[in-house]
Amino acid sequence: MFSTKLSTKKKVCVSLLQLSFFTGLTVLAFDQFSFSTTNSITALLGLSPSQNSFAFAQNATHDKVVDDFKRKNKNQDRVNALGGYWYTAAGAGSEVSPTPNNFKLSDEGVNGKGKSAKLTGKVTKGGYISIGTSLSKNGQPISLAQYKGIEFWAKGDGKKYGIQLQTPNVIKDYNYYSYVFVAKPQWTHYQIPFDKLTQQNWGKKTVHVALKDSLKQVLTITWYPHPYGEPRGSVNLAVGDIKLIY
């Protein structure tokens, strides 16, 4: 059960949880609306694990913004709120936009506001493309062990994508911890606890690195068409408003 309690005497803005039901799963899409109240409001929602969100307690006052995509200088498109850098990558003849040498944010911001990081292109058989951001100014890994998970908004083409914590200092075969979701055509809010991340069914099975150890050495957060190596004629994914959940 997911519970949100609000108490105020003023007009407040909250997120309306728009529920969609399919195949027995509850999917959350967040829209903004306003209301006035002098009473406490408790929203109780039965939340089943889905491709969107999971119910877990969080302390928003200690959440860490990775990127809110509010840029004062358009020449700073690459730099996130932590001082890290955005990038794209492609391999085995795949095509990616924006190109690694000419990275720019998209004007397609969350619900029509601001900017976002957008990945487009195509994937060849055995290839890949991705978009991601480092988490420190000096390019060194940082610890996310104090956080419960990550939240972000995404908009896509209805296909599967993965979010991945890249930890090359501890996982040497690229089989990093990740979570697979479906990027819906409308902006959708995702909350993913780190304990839902898993390694994929490949890599060196004899070399197992515990999630808790990986979280101590996170270099980048990356989004990619899932699965790696599967051809895809078109890719279209935008992500925005990224936070680490405390």
Mean pLDDT by 10 residues, the chain (246 residues): 32 28 27 26 28 61 92 87 96 96 95 96 97 96 97 98 97 93 97 94 70 97 96 98 96
Same domain, 141 and 205: yes
3-state DSSP call for residue 76? helix
Range of the domain at 25: 1-35+43-50
Same domain, 5 and 76: no
Q: Running DSSP on this structure, what letter comes out for residue 51?
A: S
For 6, 131, 203, the CA distances from 34, given in Å and listed in that order, are: 13, 34, 49
182 within a domain of the structure (yes/no): yes
Same domain, 31 and 139: no
Residue 62 C-beta-side C-alpha neighbours within 13 Å? 9
**Residue 47 pLDDT:** 30
**Residue 180 pLDDT:** 97
Number of domains in the chain: 2
56 within a domain of the structure (yes/no): no
Same domain, 107 and 15: no
For 8, 41, 44, 152, the CA distances from 5, given in Å and listed in that order, are: 10, 6, 9, 22
57 within a domain of the structure (yes/no): no
CATH of the domain at 204: 2.60.120.430
CB 161 within 8 A of CB 237: yes
- pTM reported for the whole predicted model: 0.77
Greatest pairwise CA separation for the chain in angstroms: 60
Q: How many CB atoms within 10 Å of residue 105?
A: 22
Secondary structure element (H or E) that encloses residue 214, with its range: helix 211-214
**Residue 56 pLDDT:** 58
